[in-house]
Amino acid sequence: MGFAHLLTLLIIVSSSSCYLMQNTFKTSFYWYSQKFNGTLDLFYNSEKFEKNLDTKIIIHGFNENVQMPIYKEMVQKFMAKDNLNVITVDYSYYDWQNNYLKILHAIPHIGFYLGELLGRLKLSRCITLGRVQIIGYSTGAQIAAHAARKANQYTRGAKVGRITALNPTRPGFESILVKDDAKLSANDARIVDILHTDRNLGYAESHGSVDFYPNFGDKIQPGCKLVEEKKIYGVGEKDGWKQVLLYDDYCSLKRSALIYAESIYSDKFIATKCESWERYTAGDCDNNEKIIYGDDMPGNAEGSYYFRTNPQSPYALGK
């Protein structure tokens, strides 16, 4: 197991340096490696960064932090699997009041600083951005998109190798008034793989270079429950009571992170390429291409893939 290195950035940005931010913002980066033990500010001590290793960056979701068990599990599995740089990004300072609108406002700026960090590491340590994978869950997936774009801009054309988007958040990004460059797209990295597990809080349509739909990507994943609730993410009562997921549970949304964490050491999520869930369940695609979903997904995968899971861990069926 590697060591965690905490980097806390206190960045004060005036209106002259950033047109939207006028407050003090905090973002924390925890750096894990197998050879270095200590606390390091990568912005000013980038010579310590191990430039010849692949780099995994993990970004948590709304109303979370990187000390939660699921992210610790990812880090532990990555460090045990290979000799890597692993960075976790903690922006929990922004949502300590459980304010989703505040997070929406902050997403581009969090991504900006992560992207600048990657750009500096590229220019000062000659890291290969193509060897960087950013794993973002929910709001973290939208942050990953902004980070990849900023790194591309900072380096004048270098592109992040892979974004793994775990049910990227939809509320606040689905309006026709939101510009395409404000949300995750297939062009943000060389590979953009998206795992859809909750169509209520995420997207139903495919918009990555490759999209995966376990159990149809339904808003009710196997093992999750429905409950009557009047509002979620600010969506109020419209035509009587609205059936949504348990407000403090988000079971189907969280399933995306659980499936990916399991995939780090599993080759049993077998996904089939297909045009739709209906055709997949009808058996029309049984002879189509099949690939492994997860960390070891083939880099040339494109299109939409479907697979089923168990209702509890281990989720992989192996078929």
At 132-172, the pLDDT tens digits run 999 999 999 999 999 999 999 999 999 999 999 999 998 88
Find the range with the poorest average confidence among 176-180, 245-249, 251-255, 258-262: 245-249
- The residue-averaged pLDDT of 228-242 equals 45
Give the max Cα distance, the chain.
59
| pTM for this entry | 0.85
Higher-confidence residue of 296 and 233: namely 296
Average pLDDT, rounded, for the chain: 82
What CA–CA distance (Å, rounded) separates 286 from 303?
16
Q: How many Cβ atoms from other residues are within 10 Å of residue 148's Cβ?
A: 29
* Of 53, 75, 27, 8, residue with least CA distance to 295: 75
Task: Mention every residue, 6+ apart, whose C-beta is less than 8 A from residue 78.
Answer: 32, 56, 84, 86, 264
Half-sphere exposure of 98 (CA within 13 A, CB side): 5
Summarize the confidence of residues 58-74 as an average pLDDT.
Answer: 93
**What is the end-to-end Cα distance of the chain in Å, rounded?**
32
pLDDT band of residue 15 (cuts 50, 70, 90) is very low
- Top-confidence residue, 249 or 315: 315
Listed in sequence order, the DSSP H helices in 42-185 are 69-81, 100-125, 139-154
Structural domains for the chain: 3-218+249-307 (3.40.50.1820)
36's CB contacts (< 8 A; 6+ apart) are 3, 5, 48, 50
Can you give the pLDDT at residue 96? 62
Strand ranges, E, within the chain: 3-12, 24-33, 55-59, 85-90, 132-137, 162-166, 191-195, 210-214, 226-229, 242-245, 270-273, 290-292, 303-307
* Distance (Å, whole) CA 208 – CA 188: 9
Average pLDDT rounded to a whole number, residues 18-29: 48
